[in-house]
């Protein structure tokens, strides 16, 4: 008996010692602020695996490969009262934005800012909560750095399509497969995205699999649908 | 104008409430004191308003078409034989030169404001009963002008001079008698209204109904009365009031009282609120922004002071500037009414400066930039201090006004059309389902979303919708284009899809030069096709035939196609449509 309790006791002692040491270090250097302190914008629950810490204010999120993912990121904040601007996205599907939950009365489109893109984006970052940027904007790297700093100061979120050097979070869609089509029958119903999450403070690249456009009623309405219902509930980290 | 409309609605509600109260207790039938009133009537108002709005001379035969018949006819057209209620074809046969104008209630009320303003030049308070008809309590005004004749003369002169249209004025006790008197340009002596009305046919009763639904009810009532043999008002008013109520309900009761020359409610007068304007004339034409910014600040402060002195706030400010060439540069800015008093002038200064900067740098649309000779600010939507409408819960949200200001700033930077507000509307293709307008502009009536729209592309909606469809190649297994015939039979299942690629891409350009690329014979100008991508799965074709009756008719068949990448992983899904022998890419589900 005693041979079994002794390692437990020593473990407890070591643990308490380690905790005391950690406390001492924290007292000397200053405790790190918990991550929840940072103000965040609301995020749709199905995107939580992508950004476990939430959509932090003042962040730059770069999204490659899926416009609908950009809209989904902005949707919950917009529904909760934030203003959203889409700059340099002449092809954005407004109906898709509305279906994702973006409130169109607080949604402005600036499709062709032209040579004055930097000023227009700057003004929007100052006054709007979420700014969606298209891929072909006339922004230099210095402009981008300035805009990121401005977003950090004002507490807005920039969601940029394509590469953004120094983005806090980089979401790259590596695989997107649609379900519901057959050979001349069916229709697009649901899709699976595999998103690689990287970024400045993200450590190693994670891969997250998530289902977009999954309408719960439809999944059971189609007979013979080859969809595994459980998959939606699984957090589904593939790698 | 909204004020006017709401007041009219309120008055109408009061009238209805009055009628309802009457139906509950017929004993309480005492009329409100009958008011002596003068009525100013502009004949054929809808057509007069439409002609003045369209800039057509008064001697042109014109008519306003509403629904299936002519709603109002100008005097010249009437001489040519066009009548109210005539069908369009008959009217055009009677008078081939007839100008047919659309019906627009908003325009009628808007243009009538000038007539009301002209009448207010003569008397202090008027009630706009409906566009085309003004009511004035006659007693005080007649005393002021000496007699009712001189009042009528002053009104007719003022309207002819200031509003530029002919009108008729009459005076009598009670509503209906006054309206009839105006139509006949008569002054009915006090106390004789009942006799004046006695000989009139019952058909005049709808003239006193100011609202369309009420007028329809009264017209139905008149039809019944005529079929019962009660053709004159004296026959109708001789019936006991209780019986009329029992047989015809509140409408009958209302008509009975109106027909006896009584009033159901006193006139509701409106007070005119003048727009508050300030103006600055440059001694020398100014072109430098710094110079203008100083003036902008000065003018904005003046406007703020003028608003404060009048005890009002405004909802919109119109900034207008005149250039040396005589061009007018004008734009209306919304301001949020409630929140600020001292900050107002600073915000207006900003807006004036943005606007002028935009003009002078030539980035925003408008006339040629030129030195300015004068600058004016006009406060519109003026409301008394303290009566602004805030949100239902709490005041104006700071984020909302900040975002509005941001968008106005961007508009001043890029031009008003560069910032779009979007709305969803009904339609079949993803492109048709969006209505986009310059930010801040009032929305046009959209196609209704609730309508069924058979053949609509099903949800989920594509996240990328091309503003203009792009050509695309849909090929069968042998590489020949897939065709869809009139009966929606496909020549072969689609096997390959070639999308367009950016011609600046070097690899694509190199591939384009290769003879196997399929570009041979297309010359240099054609689209640059990417590699053929295999089709993973597809659905369709779904036929969409729209507006076959109009020049923008379209007939297409849509296909949803999921592609596969060369490495075997699933690729993107696209919405393609086949129209007039060509495949186009409508949208991408990305």
Q: Does the structure show a pLDDT above 80 at B184? A: yes
The more confidently predicted of residues B310 and B8 is: B310
Q: Does the structure show a pLDDT above 90 at A88? A: yes
**Is there a contact between B168 and B185 (Cβ–Cβ < 8 Å)?**
yes
Cβ contacts of A112 on chain B, cutoff 8 Å: 418
Interface of B with A in 422-461 (CB under 8 A): 422-424, 430, 433-434, 436, 439, 458-461
Nearest to B570 among A82, A175, A215 (CB): A175
Nearest to B461 among A93, A106, A178 (CB): A93
Question: Given this model, what pLDDT does residue B320 score?
Answer: 83
pLDDT digits (tens, 9 = 90+) for B343-394: 677 777 777 777 777 677 665 555 677 788 888 888 876 776 665 554 444 4
Cβ of B419 within 8 Å of Cβ of A93? The answer is no
CA B52, B53, B57, B60 torsion-angle sign: negative
Tokens linked to B363: 């980035």
The torsion of the CA quartet B82, B87, B90, B93, rounded to 10 degrees, works out to: 70
CA–CA distance, A219 with B323 (Å, rounded to integer) = 64
In chain A, pLDDT over 70 holds for what percent of residues? 82
Name beta bridge partners: B128.
B134
Question: Given this model, what pLDDT does residue B335 score?
Answer: 65
**Is there a contact between A120 and B413 (Cβ–Cβ < 8 Å)?**
yes
Tell me the average pLDDT across B519-525: 59
Cβ of A215 within 8 Å of Cβ of B410? The answer is no
**Is there a contact between B71 and B62 (Cβ–Cβ < 8 Å)?**
no
Which of B58, B64, B60 shows the shortest CA–CA distance to B46?
Answer: B64
- B323 to chain A nearest CA, in Å? 26
Q: Cβ of B282 under 8 Å from any chain A Cβ? A: no
Question: Given this model, what pLDDT does residue A235 score?
Answer: 43
Alpha helices in B146-288 (DSSP H): 148-158, 175-184, 193-198, 212-227, 233-237, 241-259
**Is there a contact between A236 and A224 (Cβ–Cβ < 8 Å)?**
no
Domains and CATH numbers, chain A: 38-171 (3.40.50.300), 174-233 (no CATH)
> A59-94 in b/e burial notation, b at 16+ Cβ within 10 A?
bbbbbbbbbbbbbbbbbbbbeeebbbbbbbbbbbbb
Tell me which of A45-54, B2-11, B230-239, B434-443 is least confident. B2-11
User: Do B277-412 and B2-259 have the same topology in CATH?
Assistant: no
Domain range list for chain B: 2-259, 277-412, 419-456, 464-589
Those residues with Cβ within 8 angstroms of residue B157's Cβ, 6 or more apart along the chain or in another chain = none
CA–CA distance, B226 with B235 (Å, rounded to integer) = 11
Nearest to B461 among A82, A95, A183 (CB): A95
Tell me which of A48-62, B278-292, B297-311, B438-452 is least confident. B438-452
Question: Given this model, what pLDDT does residue A74 score?
Answer: 92
Which of B356, B380, B330, B181 shows the shortest CA–CA distance to B261?
Answer: B181
pLDDT digits (tens, 9 = 90+) for B286-308: 777 778 878 888 888 888 888 88
Which of B99, B55, B53, B50 shows the shortest CA–CA distance to B76?
Answer: B99
Q: Spell out where B210-362 has E strands.
A: 276-286, 312-323, 328-334
The more confidently predicted of residues B346 and B232 is: B232
In chain B, pLDDT over 70 holds for what percent of residues? 83
Q: Does the structure show a pLDDT above 80 at B96? A: yes
CATH of domain B2-259: 3.30.70.270
Tell me the average pLDDT across B235-247: 91
CA–CA distance, A112 with A98 (Å, rounded to integer) = 21
CA–CA distance, B304 with B311 (Å, rounded to integer) = 10
Interface of B with A in 49-108 (CB under 8 A): none
Other residues' Cβ atoms within 10 Å of the Cβ of residue B67: 7
Q: How many residues does chain B have?
A: 590
Q: Cβ of B259 under 8 Å from any chain A Cβ? A: no
Q: What stretch of H or E contains A183?
A: strand A183-184
CA–CA distance, A127 with A154 (Å, rounded to integer) = 8
CA–CA distance, B200 with B196 (Å, rounded to integer) = 8
CA–CA distance, B122 with B115 (Å, rounded to integer) = 11
Q: Which CATH superfamily is domain B277-412 in?
A: DNA polymerase, Y-family, little finger domain (3.30.1490.100)
**Is there a contact between B91 and B84 (Cβ–Cβ < 8 Å)?**
no
Question: Given this model, what pLDDT does residue B215 score?
Answer: 85
Cβ of A99 within 8 Å of Cβ of B460? The answer is yes
Interface of B with A in 454-513 (CB under 8 A): 458-467, 490, 493
Interface of B with A in 545-574 (CB under 8 A): 560-562, 569-570, 572-573
Cβ of A110 within 8 Å of Cβ of B460? The answer is no
- A/B interface, count of CB pairs below 8 Å: 160
Question: Given this model, what pLDDT does residue A142 score?
Answer: 92
Which band of pLDDT confidence, cut at 50, 70 and 90, is reported for residue B9? very low
Q: Does the structure show a pLDDT above 90 at B531? A: no
**Is there a contact between A190 and A214 (Cβ–Cβ < 8 Å)?**
yes
Q: Residue B436: closest CA among chain A residues belongs to which residue? A: A109
Cβ contacts of A64 on chain B, cutoff 8 Å: none
- Of the residues B416, B447, B463, the best mutation for testing chain A's interface (the one with the most A CB atoms within 10 Å of its CB) is B463
CA atoms within 13 A on the CB side of B452: 2
Q: Residue B401: closest CA among chain A residues belongs to which residue? A: A127
- B249 to chain A nearest CA, in Å? 45
Cβ contacts of A184 on chain B, cutoff 8 Å: 490, 493, 538-540
Other residues' Cβ atoms within 10 Å of the Cβ of residue B584: 17
Tell me which of B160-164, B293-297, B363-367, B575-579 is least confident. B363-367
Q: What stretch of H or E contains B311?
A: none
- A86 to chain B nearest CA, in Å? 10
In chain B, pLDDT over 90 holds for what percent of residues? 16
Which band of pLDDT confidence, cut at 50, 70 and 90, is reported for residue A48? confident
Cβ contacts of A127 on chain B, cutoff 8 Å: 402-403, 405-407, 409
> B364-401 in b/e burial notation, b at 16+ Cβ within 10 A?
bebeebbbbbebbbbbebbbeeeebeeeeeeebeeeeb
- Percentage helix, strand, coil, to 5, in chain B? 35, 25, 35
Q: Cβ of B399 under 8 Å from any chain A Cβ? A: yes
């Amino acid at each position: 008996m005693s041979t079994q309790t002794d390692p437990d006791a020593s473990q407890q002692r070591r643990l308490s010692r380690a905790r005391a040491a950690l406390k001492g270090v924290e007292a000397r250097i200053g405790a790190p602020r918990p991550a929840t302190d940072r103000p965040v914008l609301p995020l749709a629950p199905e995107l939580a695996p992508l950004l476990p810490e939430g959509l932090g204010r003042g962040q730059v999120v770069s999204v490659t490969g899926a416009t609908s993912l950009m809209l989904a990121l902005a949707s919950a904040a917009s529904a909760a009262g934030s203003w959203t601007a889409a700059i340099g996205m002449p092809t954005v599907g407004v109906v898709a934005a509305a279906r994702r939950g973006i409130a169109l009365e607080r949604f402005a489109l600036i499709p062709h800012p032209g040579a004055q893109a930097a000023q227009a984006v700057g003004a929007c970052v100052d006054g709007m909560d979420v700014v969606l940027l298209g891929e072909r904007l006339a922004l230099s790297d210095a402009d981008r750095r300035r805009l990121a700093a401005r977003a950090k100061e004002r507490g807005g979120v920039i969601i940029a399509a394509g590469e953004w050097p120094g983005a806090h979070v980089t979401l790259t869609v590596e695989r997107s497969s649609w379900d519901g089509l057959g050979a001349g029958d069916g229709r697009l119903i649901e899709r699976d995205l595999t998103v690689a999450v990287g970024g400045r403070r993200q450590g190693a690249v994670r891969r997250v699999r998530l289902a977009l456009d999954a309408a719960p009623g439809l999944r059971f309405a189609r007979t013979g649908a080859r969809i595994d219902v459980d998959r939606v509930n699984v957090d589904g980290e593939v790698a | 104008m909204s004020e006017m409309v709401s007041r009219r609605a309120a008055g109408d509600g009061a009238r209805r409430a009055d009628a309802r109260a009457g139906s509950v207790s017929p004993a309480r039938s005492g009329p409100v004191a009958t008011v002596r009133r003068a009525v100013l009537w502009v004949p054929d108002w809808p057509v007069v308003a439409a002609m003045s709005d369209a800039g057509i001379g008064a001697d042109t035969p014109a008519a306003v078409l509403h629904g299936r018949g002519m709603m109002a006819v100008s005097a010249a057209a009437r001489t040519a034989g066009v009548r109210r209620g005539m069908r369009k074809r008959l009217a055009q046969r009677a008078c081939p030169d007839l100008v047919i104008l659309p019906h627009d209630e908003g325009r009628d009320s808007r243009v009538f404001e000038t007539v009301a303003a002209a009448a207010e030049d003569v008397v202090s308070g008027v009630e706009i009963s409906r566009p085309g008809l003004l009511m004035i309590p006659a007693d005080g005004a007649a005393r002021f002008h000496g007699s009712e004749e001189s009042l009528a003369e002053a009104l007719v002169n003022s309207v002819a001079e200031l509003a530029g249209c002919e009108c008729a004025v009459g005076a009598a006790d009670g509503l209906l008698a006054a309206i009839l008197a105006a139509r006949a340009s008569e002054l009915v002596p006090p106390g004789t209204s009942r006799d004046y009305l006695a000989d009139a046919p019952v058909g005049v009763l709808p003239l006193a109904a100011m609202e369309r639904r009420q007028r329809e009810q009264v017209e139905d009532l008149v039809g019944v009365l005529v079929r019962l043999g009660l053709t004159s008002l004296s026959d109708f008013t001789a019936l006991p009031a209780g019986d009329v109520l029992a047989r015809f309900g509140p409408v009958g009761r209302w008509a009975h009282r109106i027909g006896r020359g009584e009033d159901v409610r006193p006139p509701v007068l409106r007070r005119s609120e003048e727009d508050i304007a300030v103006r600055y004339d440059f001694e020398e034409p100014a072109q430098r922004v710094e110079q203008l910014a100083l003036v902008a600040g000065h003018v904005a402060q003046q406007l703020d002071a003028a608003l404060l002195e009048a005890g009002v706030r405004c909802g919109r400010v119109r900034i207008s500037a005149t250039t040396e060439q005589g061009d007018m540069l004008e734009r209306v800015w919304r301001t949020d009414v409630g929140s600020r008093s001292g900050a107002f002038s600073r915000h207006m200064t900003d807006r004036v400066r943005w606007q002028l900067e935009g003009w002078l740098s030539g980035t925003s649309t408008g006339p040629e930039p030129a030195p300015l000779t004068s600058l004016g600010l006009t406060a519109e939507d003026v409301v008394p201090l303290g009566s602004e409408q805030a949100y239902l819960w709490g005041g104006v949200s700071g984020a909302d006004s900040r975002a509005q200001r941001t968008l106005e700033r961007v508009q001043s930077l890029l031009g008003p059309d560069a910032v779009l507000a979007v709305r969803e509307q009904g339609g079949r293709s993803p492109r048709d389902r969006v209505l986009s307008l310059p930010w801040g502009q009032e929305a046009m009536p959209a196609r209704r979303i609730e309508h069924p729209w058979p053949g609509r592309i099903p949800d989920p909606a594509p996240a990328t919708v091309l503003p203009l469809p792009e050509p695309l190649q849909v090929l069968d297994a042998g590489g020949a284009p897939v065709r869809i015939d009139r009966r929606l039979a496909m020549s072969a299942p689609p096997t390959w899809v070639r999308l367009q690629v950016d011609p600046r891409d070097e690899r694509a350009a190199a591939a384009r030069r290769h003879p196997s690329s399929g570009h041979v014979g297309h010359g240099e100008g054609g689209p640059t096709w990417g590699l053929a991508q295999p089709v993973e799965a597809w659905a369709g074709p779904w036929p969409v035939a729209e507006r076959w009756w109009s020049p923008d008719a379209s007939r297409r068949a849509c296909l949803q196609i999921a592609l596969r990448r060369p490495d075997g992983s699933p690729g993107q899904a696209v919405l393609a449509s086949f129209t007039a022998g060509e495949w186009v890419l409508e949208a991408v589900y990305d």
